[in-house]
Structures are given as structure tokens and as C-alpha cells.
Amino acid sequence: MSTPTIDSTPIEHSGPQAPKGAVKGGLLDPKMLLKSLPDAVRKLDPRTLWRNPVMFIVEVGAVWSTILAFVEPSWFAWLIVVWLWLTVIFANLAEAVAEGRGKAQADTLRKAKTDMVARRLTGWAPNVAGTEEEVAAPQLAQGDFVVVEAGQTIPGDGDVVEGIASVDESAITGESAPVIRESGGDRSAVTGGTTVLSDRIVVKITQKPGESFIDRMIALVEGANRQKTPNEIALNILLAALTLIFVFAVATLQPLAIFSKANNPGVPDSLALNGDGISGIVMVSLLVCLIPTTIGALLSAIGIAGMDRLVQRNVLAMSGRAVEAAGDVNVLLLDKTGTITLGNRQASDFVPLPDVTPEQLADAAQLSSLADETPEGRSIVVYAKQEFGLRARTPGELDGAEWVEFTAMTRMSGVNLTDGHQLRKGATNSVAEWIRSNGGSVPNALGAVVDEISAAGGTPLAVGEVRNGTATVLGVIHLKDVVKQGMRERFDEMRKMGIRTVMITGDNPLTAKAIADEAGVDDFLAEATPEDKLALIKREQEGGKLVAMTGDGTNDAPALAQADVGVAMNTGTSAAKEAGNMVDLDSDPTKLIEIVEIGKQLLITRGALTTFSIANDIAKYFAIIPALFVTLFPGLDLLNVMRLHSPQSAILSAVIFNAVVIIALIPLSLRGVRYTPASASKLLSRNLLIYGVGGIVAPFVGIKLIDLVIQFLPGMS
């Protein structure tokens, strides 16, 4: 990760790109502001705005100030009124822009949802064709069976119950490469709106009408179903409490002002302070500047943007609560295969037995693997070429050779050459039995090498030959799970974040420990069953931990449902996707790490802007309080450290800055504060230093600059 710097740069990642048509994060686009402006104006409706208590108070104050400006019109009064209304509109604009980004993505997704006609099968059952009828796709119900052939669009979410087909899911994932969907197993789930490219499949519909995957995705990215998260609700309560406190604080200034003015009859009336105390417009201005309007305006946008950042990475969060929970995760459960390792064992070494040269073993290993189409067999051929310079031969080059393909029964592959030379490669027991059946003996050295490789967590494959009627064992191929590059560094980052990583694998404990040590995970669960996963999650949660995990199979569904953050793979079963609270459209298990980082970025952005907003008040005190009472108490002029032009310009400058800073911070709220792995105390210190100090300094600079500009306006004397 890059060094800690505070700006609006998003989390660095190297993963799948956003869906086609997705709006990517960037500096605020003026066109987006203009496009979102009508929505911002519509949000002025008090029935909508009351859900945001801070901005609701600002709107009430703007209405009251407008009435006062009509009663006692002045340049100062109308300028204050204009900027109070702009403050509310800017706050609504932040939320409207965030929602607008989601709507742009929803428009792209909606293109995949057209008026389709489904070929429903009545009376279908395995080995029974059923009767076909055409119906509108929205009329499909759970349990219906439909047939889809090449070139046709799948009419609804479901599971393949017959056949196998290549499916284009680019409308959902943005990835052009087709995927294979087949009946049975964990790759049977299909999504409505995707297109079958080849063959024919029968799909059992699992959705309810209007509740398809695309329907839910459109509603979620548009923000229609976004509910406030517990953290957001708690922060809203805090902001409401602070607002109430400042309402009482400002209200108590009025009797103080009336009393002080009555006891100083020689002090002339001013626009801010007269015989009736503080003017209503000035009181509203003071209240609006002191309450935490900045974070109140941006809070909703931050939450929407968090879900938007996940959608840009092709992850659909079923609720904002899931995104927030990702930021608080303490334990990360990761599958070994495909997540931590490449997924297939790879050849890593050739160990010859005594009196056998490495080159001789490599040549035999490569020849005996040419008929082995498994990933392990392919890796042996490649390893022999790379490490020993052997040309990658093909079976067709050896005329008259009899090739022995690898099968699960024999657990061996090999070749019988025309000169009677025979080669075999496979499981040590199978090769040893083949050697004995050809009159040879198995040397004791073989057992020692096999035990050493097994102890290191690898898989040993023996290589044997029959030459001139003599059967011998040449050596052993060391296969090992290859840990993905950079995984140890990623886990080190997780550790800095206070997250404990646990590797889940079906391997034996010895192999699991070897992989865990190499990858750098904190713990592992070997020979894991669905019950073991569920028990582990419950045990961690009972200890007060929040757990995140990924899964794609029906057997993962209980654990996904139990986990605080359950990320289901889009290629997985419907049961897995229903159980999880997130779906990864790219089906990339390593993305769970990015999801956690995005969740933490959301929480840190919210905390940073809250700190900045509250720190702003200090500078506003120095701008407004001296301006209000300097005529009564000349000594307060010492607090006018900014040397503002006049009480009127000081108050208006504070109100303008209060509004403009909302617009200035919209890009940061949408893209988020850059997150770098660190302990909670270090992150807190960093936020206090940069956003706390910055929140104090920025208003001093901003208000002074605004004062220099507006001091020449009418009514600013």
C-alpha cells in the first residue's frame, strides 16, 4: 500500500473493473451537479428532509429568515437568506449526486431487463420432456421450469436442472468472457437477463415475481431500499443532540443580549444587536454555523457512496448494514483453494533416487505426463521445460507410441514406446504396484522421499520405468499448492488492521499447516466440514468478534447466513446467494479482503468528516461571537483574530463558508478518505491531527478570504 496521505484517492486495488456503464469515482463533475440539482430541490420537501434533523433545522431557519427578510428587508438580510437556502440545497445535492451515480449504474442494469417471453415447460421431470408454452417472463412463478436455447435470454433467476451451456453474463458483471453453467454441483445458478450462447438448458425458476436479482440490484444501487445503518443511526442521534444543545445555547444569548443592551443605553443599535436583542436573522445564522451542518449534509452521501464503491467492484451489498459490518470485521475466514493458493497443485521439484540423474527423471516425468490433461499433469510438462530446457513435446510426435491417459481408477498416466520402453507417473502406491507387477522392487529410498514431501505439505508422485525388461523407480515429483503472489503481504496488512485471518481447507492438518505458514495466515481449520465452519463462526461470535467469509456451494449456506458478512459467489448456488448478504458478481474469493477495506474506508470517512465538521465550530465562534457583542463589550475585539471587516461581513462570511464547504467536501465523501492499514489508535491520532487541525484552520482561512471579497457589497459597512 502507499504511504499514508490524506486526499480523496480511493483504495488502491487491482481487480475486475466496474460493470459497463458504471460511474467511476473521480473529482466532482459539474455536469453531474447540474443533473442532480432538480433532485436536490425536490428534497426540500419537509416530509423528506425531517429524516435529517440537522438539515431540517437549517430549513426551518431558512424559512423563518425569509419571513423576517420580507418584514424588515435589507441587503444583509436577503444575502443571509439566499445562503441559508443554498446550504440546504447543497446538502441535498450531496445526497442527490451520490444517488445519481447509482442511478447511472441502474440504467445500465435495466437494459438487461427487457420484456422477455419465456418457454415454460408444464409437467417437466427428469427424463420427461413436458409440454412447452410461451408466457411473459413476469408471469413466471417459483418452481416453474423453462427451457432456454442458444441465442435466447434467460427469463428469470434459477438453477439449471438439465443440460450444460455457455452463458454470457456481461450484462451483469461487465466481463465479456462466457461462463459454463450446468446441472448439479455449485455452478448451476443462472441470473435473469443473461444470454445462453450455446447448447440447451432447462432452468427451475427460484425467484418471486418482481424480486429477481436484477430487480433487487437496481433498487439497491438507486438507493430506493437503502436503510440507515446502526452506526449511521447512532451518529444521527449524536448530531441531533448537538443540534438541540446549540439551539438552547443560542436561545440563552437572547436574554443576555437584551439585559446587556438595557444596561448600556449609550450603545447605538446595530443590524445585529438592537434594543430587542439579537436580530432573528443573526440568531438563525449563528445557530446554522454552530450546529454540525457539514457532516449532517454529507452523512447520507457517505453511506450511499460506500455501497456505490462496492458496485464499482462488481459486489452487490444487500444492505448498508453489511457494508458497515465489513468495516468492523475482526475475523476473516478464507478458503485455501482459489483464494490463498492458485487452486491446482503445481510441480515444484523433481527428486531423483540414487543412481538416477535429475535430467533423466525430468525427461521421464515429462514423457509420462503428456497424456495427462489434468492441471497437475500440465504443470509437470511446463516445469520440465522451464527448469531443464526440455522441449514441450506432443503425443503426435512419437509414432507408434501407446499413450496411457490418467484415470481416477488407475491414478497413473504414461506411455509405451515402440522399443518396449515403458514409463509411468502417478500416485506412489499405484506406481509401486505397477513396478512390482513387472518384476521390479521398490527401493527403501522411495519411502523416505515420499515422507519428506508429505511432511512439507506437498503431494508426491512417483515416476517408474520398464527398460530392457527391468522395472525401476526413477524418482519423485513434488507437487505443492502454490500460494498466490503477494498474499503474505495482504495478510500482514490485515494483521495491522487488527483482523485475524483463518484458512479453511479440506486438507489434512499437516498439509494445511505448511500452506498456512507459507501464506502467513494466523490460523487454519483443516479437514473442514460445513458443520465445522458453522461451529467456528459461532465460537468467534460468542467471543465478541465479527466474522466475514466467502462461499459458493449449498453446503456453505449455513455458514454464510451465520457470518456477519457473508459474500456469496455469483457462480454459486441460489441457496448460497440467498444466505449471504453480499454477492460477488466476478466470483473472486480474494475480493473479500477488498470488501473489508471498503467497509473500513466508509467508517473512517464518516469519522474524519465528523471530526472536521465539529472542529469547524471553533473558527466560527471567533467570527460571529465578537461580531455580535463587540459594540457592547469592546474588549471582545481581541477575539476578532481574523480582523474581519465588520459584524455584518463576519456573519455573512461564516454563513457562506458553512455552505461552500459542503460542496467542497462532496468529492471526498463520494470517493472516501484513503485508507491504509493501521491500528485503531494510530488511525484516530491521524484523523485528529489532519481533520481536527484542518477543521480548525480551514474556516479561519476560508472566512477571511470570503470577508475580503464581500466587504464591498452593500450593507457590509
Percent of the chain with pLDDT over 70: 81
Q: Return mean pLDDT, the chain.
A: 79
CA distance 282 to 649: 12
Query: Three-state SS for 625?
Result: helix
What integer pLDDT is reported at residue 328 of this predicted model? 83
Q: How far apart are CA 611 and CA 693, in angstroms?
A: 9
Any idea which fold 117-222 has?
2.70.150
C-alpha to C-alpha distances, 48 to 33, 53, 95, 146, nearest whole angstrom: 20, 11, 12, 43
With H, G, I as helix, E, B as strand and everything else as coil, classify residue 89. helix
Q: Is 552 annotated as a binding residue?
A: yes
pLDDT tops 60 at residue 102: no
Contact 383/389 with Cβ under 8 angstroms? no
Check the annotation: does 410 bind a ligand. yes
Q: Which CATH number fits domain 315-340+484-585: 3.40.190.10, 3.40.630.30, 3.40.50.1000, 1.10.760.10?
A: 3.40.50.1000
In the chain, CATH 2.70.150.10 covers 117-222
pLDDT digits (tens, 9 = 90+) for 108-153: 555 555 567 888 888 888 777 788 888 887 778 888 899 998 888 8
Write out pLDDT tens, residues 647-690: 788 888 889 999 999 988 888 888 888 777 766 677 778 878 88
Q: Give the residue numbers marked as catalytic.
A: 335
Instruction: Find the mean pLDDT for residues 447-467.
Output: 86
Whether residue 582 is annotated as binding a ligand: the answer is no
Q: What Å distances lie between residue 646 and 74, 619, 705, 715, CA to CA? A: 16, 16, 14, 10
**Smallest Cα–Cα separation from 673: which of 661, 681, 682, 665?**
665
Count the Cβ atoms, other than its own, within 10 Å of residue 510. Answer: 12
Q: Which of 71, 69, 97, 72 is nearest to 83 (CA)?
A: 69
Which is more confident, 185 or 477?
477
pLDDT of amino acid 16: 34
Residue 432 — very low, low, confident or very high, per pLDDT cuts 50/70/90? very high
Which helix or strand (DSSP H or E) is residue 567 part of? strand 565-569
Q: Is 527 left (phi over 0), alpha (psi -120 to 50) or beta?
A: left
Which of 94-98, 426-430, 434-438, 648-652 comes out lowest in average pLDDT? 94-98
Average pLDDT in the 234-256 region?
83
Residue with the larger pLDDT of the pair 103 and 564: 564
Please give the Cα distance from 136 to 115 (Å, whole number).
7
Residue 445 has pLDDT above 70, yes or no: yes
pLDDT at residue 113 in the model: 52
**388, 519, 393, 514: which is closest to 459 by C-alpha?**
514
Q: Residue 3: what pLDDT?
A: 33
Pick 397 or 106 by higher pLDDT.
397
Q: What is the pLDDT of residues 681-711, one digit of tens each?
A: 777 788 788 888 888 888 888 888 998 888 8
Q: How many CB atoms lie within 10 A of CB 441?
A: 11
Residue 475 is predicted with a pLDDT of 93
Distance CA 642, CA 621 (A): 11
Report DSSP letters for 166-194, one per residue. Answer: EEE-HHHH---S-EEEESSTT--EE-TT-
List helix spans (H) across 580-590.
Answer: none
**Which tops the pLDDT comparison, 172 or 158?**
158
Range scoring the smallest mean pLDDT among 74-88, 241-255, 626-640: 626-640
Q: So what's the pLDDT on residue 715?
A: 65
Cα separation, 570 vs 591, in Å, equals 13
Q: Is the Cβ–Cβ distance between 501 and 387 less than 8 Å?
A: no
Range list for CATH 3.40.50.1000 in the chain? 315-340+484-585
Does 132 carry a binding-site annotation? no
User: Which of the residue ranges 142-151, 183-192, 244-253 has the most confident prediction, judged by mean pLDDT?
Assistant: 142-151
pLDDT greater than 90 at residue 550? no
The answer to whether the CB of 423 falls within 8 A of the CB of 463 is yes
Predicted pLDDT of residue 115: 61
> 342-482 maps to which CATH number?
3.40.1110.10
CA angle 674–589–586, rounded 5-degree value: 85
Nearest-angstrom CA–CA distance, 17 and 397: 43
Q: Look at residue 28 in the predicted model and tell me its pLDDT.
A: 54
Q: Please report, as a single letter, which amino acid is at residue 364.
A: A
Q: Which of 297, 285, 274, 287 is nearest to 82 (CA)?
A: 285
Among positive and negative, which fits the CA dihedral 411, 416, 422, 423? negative
Which range of 333-347, 514-528, 629-643 scores highest in mean pLDDT? It is: 514-528
CA proximity to 445, closest of 355, 310, 361, 327:
355
Residue 163's φ and ψ, nearest 5 degrees, are 95, 180
Report the distance separating Cα 585 and Cα 308, nearest Å: 14
* Ranges of CATH 3.40.1110.10 domains, the chain: 342-482
CB distance 422 to 415 below 8 Å: yes
Under DSSP, is residue 256 helix (H, G, I), strand (E, B) or coil? Answer: helix
The predicted model scores a pTM of: 0.64
Of the CA atoms within 13 Å of residue 6, those in its CB half-sphere come to: 16
Q: Give the pLDDT score at 78.
A: 92
**pLDDT-derived band at 23, boundaries 50, 70, 90:** very low
pLDDT of residue 185: 67
Cα→Cα distances 152→140, 146, 180, 197, 199, Å: 16, 12, 15, 8, 11
Is 406 annotated in a binding site? The answer is yes
Is residue 412 annotated as involved in ligand binding?
Answer: yes
For residue 542, count other CB atoms closer than 10 A to its CB: 8
Q: What phi and psi, each to the nearest 5 degrees, are found at residue 465? A: -145, 155
Those residues whose C-beta lies under 8 Å from the C-beta of residue 276, and which sit 6 or more positions away, are: 258
User: Between vectors from CA 290 to CA 232 and to CA 704, what angle results, nearest 5°?
Assistant: 120
12: left (phi over 0), alpha (psi -120 to 50) or beta: beta
Tens-place pLDDT, residues 49-65: 888 888 899 999 999 99
What is the mean predicted confidence (pLDDT) over 557-567?
86
Strands, DSSP E only, in 23-157?
117-122, 131-136, 145-149
**Cα 563 to Cα 668: distance, rounded to the nearest angstrom:** 31
H or E element, residue 210: none
Please list, in sequence order, all residues whose beta carbon lies within 8 angstroms of the beta carbon of residue 496, skipping any fewer than 6 positions away.
677, 678, 679
Cell numbers for 536: 467456528
Confidence (pLDDT) at 477: 92
pLDDT value of position 270:
58
Q: pLDDT band for 476, please (50, 70, 90 cuts).
A: very high
Give the pLDDT confidence score for residue 84 in this predicted structure: 93
Whether residue 602 contacts residue 324, with contact meaning beta carbons closer than 8 Å, is answered with: yes
* Strand, coil or helix: 502: strand
pLDDT reading at 25 higher than 50: no
Average pLDDT over residues 586-614: 84
Q: Inform me whether the pLDDT recorded for 400 exceeds 80.
A: no
- Mean pLDDT confidence for 346-363: 89
520: helix, strand or coil? coil
* 157 annotated to bind ligand: no
Tell me whether residue 213 is annotated as binding.
no
pLDDT at res. 11: 35
Q: From the CB of residue 625, how many other CB atoms can be counted at a distance below 10 Å?
A: 17
Higher pLDDT, 10 or 29: 29
Residue 411 among known ligand-binding residues: yes
Tallying the residues shown for the chain, one arrives at: 717
From the centroid of its chain, how far is CA 592? 7
pLDDT for 170 equals 66
Q: Which of 4-8, 27-31, 133-137, 677-681 has the lowest mean pLDDT?
A: 4-8
C-alpha cell at 717: 459597512
Q: Tell me the CA distances in angstroms from 683 to 9, 246, 532, 595, 658, one per residue in order.
A: 17, 29, 35, 19, 27
